[in-house]
Amino acid sequence: MPPGDSPPPTVTTNPPKTSPASRSNSPSSSVQHDRRQLGARLRQLRKAAGLTGRQLGEATAQDSTRVSKLENGVQEPTDQDLVTWCTACGALDQVESLRTEVRRISTAYLELKQQAKAGMKRVLGAHTNQRYATTRRFRVYEQNVIPGLFQTADYAAAMLSSWIDFLDTPNDLDEAVTIRLERQKILYDQRKRFEIVLDEHALYKRFGSISTQIGQLDRLLTVMDFPTVSLGIIPTDAARGPVPVPSIGFWIFNDTLAALETPTATLEVTKKSEIQLYARLFDGLRTNASYRSNARSLLTKAITTLTVQLGSDPF
């Protein structure tokens, strides 16, 4: 492992039993998981107060069926629900904490279609200028795509074009590419650290022409030598362990946010115990990756393979 690739601090808190790799990669399923956990907190408050579901319903003027739905995460509680629930349970000191949790769940699932109505330049998800400015340590794992911070203009244009067509958004491709390239200036900020792990498959997953892909890999050969960058590539034939293989890529910003993107949504994870799980997962993936000369060899092999293909199929 290259110098500077020291692992994150040892996790000392007890993480949830489910891992980000084993859970469904659907954002809605993760949000539902959080709603169930919120419901479990409400159930604990009720039981601590010695109330049955029926008694809680009577005390809060609602049907016991709805009490069950709230406790099982089927429905999200309103602010009034939280106040009356905590009042009935003698736990008004818990209201603000529960409010914060409800707000977090409500904002975790950000629909790309809604963001994209103003064009692809608005589809930022977790990748805002403010977050990039305040983040010192970026940890990124991608399976099928080169991270935006390393993309060439041609590669970014080809990839974003497919999203514009898929989401049926206004075509602001030139502006969206310009914004993405401007953001890459932070790679030269010596205060920041970019730790990237790619599956070897991402080197061959084409966006645009073969020439575009070759140019993108050549760009990777350049940025991997930046003092702020650590680039690891997991060979396709590498034995995988000691962590599960994720079903989706993810970004970790400092130790405050983990972000995942699907075809329809961006999921932002802010719960500390969950972020720690993603950090552990990233740490395990790094142990499978090749660095420095070995990573460079994988890149040059991919370039050679694509160059041979270019001779027979320039498109």
Average pLDDT of span 17-46: 70
Helices (H) and strands (E) in the chain, counts: 13, 7
- Better-scored residue on pLDDT, 12 or 130: 130
DSSP assignment string, 29-83: HHHHHHHHHHHHHHHHHHHHTT--HHHHHHHTTS-HHHHHHHHTTSSPPPHHHHH
pLDDT of residue 11: 31
Q: pTM of this prediction?
A: 0.70
Residue 185 DSSP symbol: G
Intra-chain end-to-end CA distance of the chain, in Å: 37
Task: Out of 15-19, 96-100, 133-137, 278-282, pick the least confident.
Answer: 15-19
pLDDT of residue 24: 43
Domains and CATH numbers, the chain: 27-108 (1.10.260.40), 119-312 (3.30.870)
d(CA 5, CA 56): 52
Each residue's pLDDT tens digit, 220-265: 999 999 999 999 999 999 988 888 888 899 999 999 999 988 776 7
- Better-scored residue on pLDDT, 186 or 107: 186
Average pLDDT of span 113-129: 69
pLDDT > 90: percent of the chain: 63
Average pLDDT of the chain is: 85
**Residue 104: pLDDT band with limits 50, 70, 90:** confident
Each residue's pLDDT tens digit, 198-227: 999 999 999 999 999 999 999 999 999 999
Each residue's pLDDT tens digit, 131-149: 999 999 999 999 999 999 9
Average pLDDT of span 95-104: 87
147 φ/ψ angles, rounded to the nearest 5 degrees:
-55, 145
